[in-house]
Structure 1
């Protein structure tokens, strides 16, 4: 395993350990970060590999990787809780992810990125896009297949924040448009797999799902 990945993994485990949440939440968080969400966990390091002087940006990139994946995990888990409807048990998870993990992540991002207004304006816009399109059901959505894809991909809109943050950290001219285009293509495949895995639950709760809507 690469040294930078070892450093990041160690840092993530250390930070999860001190989070003021239940052990079961820490376990599920760590499992997701190194499992289903691992693409996002290591994305900043993957982008860093395209730079000429990666060592110069490595420390900041590890910070970004840590706080970004904690934020993404909090968003993903919250979305899942709403999709599957909340009970008393999931209410506790909702509180932990939104009032402890997400806030911890945002504070870390602020320390890492600073007060760069361009990033935070973009971040707020992406958050709005994410949450404005996360509550559709199969019955109240009206549109064609192309529009459906756009709505579903908006669930992953925070990926744009990764690009914005890395542009601030990496003081080099990279092919950012091509990187973003590649990520968008990945998310089409990712969303199709995610909808397939959630097919039964989405059918029960009438959540917007590509296969249920298109048929």
Structure 2
């Protein structure tokens, strides 16, 4: 059996931490290697300081809203710090950016929730579903308000563009509302996952690890 070191962390945990940092740095390098920093600096230089400040403020507000949403949802079941729920959100968004599909991050959300908060699989599935529904509904509602401003109110969008944007953002609103309205049936998915967990535990020697 591996003995923990003086800091209270086993060599295995240190190895996992090092691997996580290497993966994060590798992904960061992969993203920034194609950036033309000269063109980026020139483009930012053409913007007014007010616009840059507004973009940074909106971005910060978005992060705070996402962290707060997970914090409220998770703390409805277990005690979790804001830092923990922020990690949950950032890991999910990281998967979204690495894999070219937003569905990828949401599909691993139950796994991430269970890893960082220790909730049961059934609860993790329910929390992930509610978060997805809220995100889609809020995203769609915000987008529709922007479409309304640039469309009927100011007339900056042509009829064709307005129709396309209303349809695409309406899908978000409809999907989010559908998930939230059917939230009472999330227990069905939860029971299915719980049953799968029980089945995995029957696998000899590695069953407990598979069940998480």
**Computing the radius of gyration over CA atoms, which structure comes out larger, 1 or 2?**
2
- Do both share a fold (TM > 0.5)? no
Normalising by structure 2, report the TM-score.
Answer: 0.30
Structure ranking higher on relative contact order (CA contacts 8 Å, 6+ apart): 1
Normalising by structure 1, report the TM-score.
Answer: 0.29
